[in-house]
Structure 1
Amino acid sequence: MSGMVNQVRPPRGDEEERTDGSSVRIGALVPLTRPGWAEAGRHLLAGLELAVRDANDGGGIAGRPLELVVRDTAADPQRAVAAVDELAGLGVAALAGEYHSVVARAAAARADALGLPFLCSSAVLDALTEQPTERVARLAPAQSHGWRIYADFLLGAGHRRVAVAAEPSVYWASGTRILRDHLAPRGGTVIELDMRALDPGALCEELVDHRATALLLLVGNPEPAVSIVRSVRRDERLAEIMIGAPAGQPEFAAWATSLGGDGAAIPFLRYLPERLGPLGTRVGTALRERLAEAPSFVAFEGYDTVAVLADVLRSHGVDRARTAESWPSVAVEGTRGQIQFSRTPGISVWQWAWTPVQVVDRDPAEPGRFRILHAG
Structure 2
Amino acid sequence: MNSSLSSSVAERADGSTVRIGALVPLTRPGWAEAGRHLLAGLETAVREVNDTGGIAGRPLELVVRDTAADPQRAAAAVDELARLGVAALAGEYHSVVARAAAARADALGLPFLCSSAVLDALTEQPTEWVARLCPAQSHGWQIYADFLLGAGHRRIAVAAQASVYWAAGTRILRDCLAPRGGTVVELDMGRLAPAAVCDELVHHRTTALLLLAGHPEPAVSIVQSVRRDERLAEILIGAPAGQPEFAEWAALLGDDGSAIPFLRYLPERLGPLGARVGTALRERLGAAPSFVAFEGYDTVAVLADVLRSHGADRARIAESWPRVDVEGTRGRIRFSRAPGIGVWQWTWASVQVVDRDPAEPDRLRILHVG
Identify whether the pair has TM-score above 0.5, normalized to the shorter chain: yes
Shift of 1:20: 5.9
User: Which residue, 63, 84, 90 being the options, matches 2:78?
Assistant: 84
Task: Note if 1:317 corresponds to 2:311.
Answer: yes
Partner letter of residue 129 of structure 2? R
Give the distance between the partners of 2:15 and 2:77, measured in 1 at CA.
20
Give the distance between the partners of 2:279 and 2:254, measured in 1 at CA.
25
Partner letter of residue 105 of structure 1? R
Equivalent residue, structure 1, for 2:102: 108
Equivalent residue, structure 2, for 1:122: 116
Equivalent residue, structure 2, for 1:43: 37
Task: Note if 1:202 corresponds to 2:199.
Answer: no
Shift of 1:37: 0.2
Give the distance between the partners of 2:61 and 2:262, measured in 1 at CA.
34
Question: Residue 324 of structure 1 aligns to a residue in which SS?
Answer: helix
Counterpart mapping for 1:170-249 below 5 A: 170-249=164-243
User: Which residue, 137, 149, 155 being the options, matches 1:161?
Assistant: 155
Partner letter of residue 187 of structure 1? G
Equivalent residue, structure 2, for 1:68: 62
1:155-174: per-residue Cα shift (whole Å, max 9, x none)?
A: 00000000000000000000
Give the distance between the partners of 1:350 and 1:241, measured in 2 at CA.
39
Partner letter of residue 282 of structure 2? R
Question: Residue 4 of structure 1 aligns to a residue in which SS?
Answer: coil
Q: Which runs of 4+ in 1 moved over 3 A?
A: none
Give the distance between the partners of 1:135 and 1:116, measured in 2 at CA.
6
Shift of 1:2: 1.5
Give the distance between the partners of 1:30 and 1:296, measured in 2 at CA.
15
- Unpaired runs of at least 5, structure 1: 8-18
Partner letter of residue 112 of structure 2? F
User: Which residue, 351, 354, 361 being the options, matches 1:357?
Assistant: 351
Equivalent residue, structure 2, for 1:143: 137
Counterpart mapping for 1:14-25 below 5 A: 21-25=15-19
Shift of 1:21: 3.4
Partner letter of residue 3 of structure 1? S
Shift of 1:201: 1.3
Equivalent residue, structure 2, for 1:292: 286
Partner letter of residue 160 of structure 2? A
- Unpaired runs of at least 5, structure 2: none
User: Which residue, 248, 253, 257 being the options, matches 2:247?
Assistant: 253
Task: Note if 1:2 corresponds to 2:7.
Answer: no
1:257-293: per-residue Cα shift (whole Å, max 9, x none)?
A: 1111100000000100000000000000000000000
Task: Note if 1:28 corresponds to 2:22.
Answer: yes
Partner letter of residue 63 of structure 1? G
Question: Residue 5 of structure 1 aligns to a residue in which SS?
Answer: coil
TM-score, normalised relative to structure 2: 0.98
Give the distance between the partners of 1:2 and 1:368, measured in 2 at CA.
34
Give the distance between the partners of 1:350 and 1:133, measured in 2 at CA.
8
Shift of 1:58: 1.2
Partner letter of residue 276 of structure 2? R
Give the distance between the partners of 2:287 and 2:243, measured in 1 at CA.
16
8 Å CA contact retained: 2:7, 2:51: no
Identity of aligned residues (%): 84
Partner letter of residue 63 of structure 2? V
8 Å CA contact retained: 1:6, 1:49: no
Aligned residues: 365
8 Å CA contact retained: 1:264, 1:362: yes
8 Å CA contact retained: 2:67, 2:74: yes
Give the distance between the partners of 1:365 and 1:227, measured in 2 at CA.
22
Give the distance between the partners of 1:2 and 1:222, measured in 2 at CA.
28
Partner letter of residue 194 of structure 1? D
Shift of 1:3: 2.5
User: Which residue, 283, 306, 314 being the options, matches 2:277?
Assistant: 283
Q: Give the CA RMSD over aligned residues.
A: 0.9
Counterpart mapping for 1:259-274 below 5 A: 259-274=253-268
Question: Residue 3 of structure 1 aligns to a residue in which SS?
Answer: coil
8 Å CA contact retained: 2:91, 2:114: yes
8 Å CA contact retained: 2:7, 2:60: no
Shift of 1:200: 1.3
Partner letter of residue 119 of structure 1? L
Give the distance between the partners of 1:45 and 1:71, measured in 2 at CA.
10
User: Which residue, 140, 148, 152 being the options, matches 2:146?
Assistant: 152
Task: Note if 1:342 corresponds to 2:336.
Answer: yes
Question: Residue 4 of structure 2 aligns to a residue in which SS?
Answer: strand
Partner letter of residue 46 of structure 1? A
Equivalent residue, structure 2, for 1:373: 367
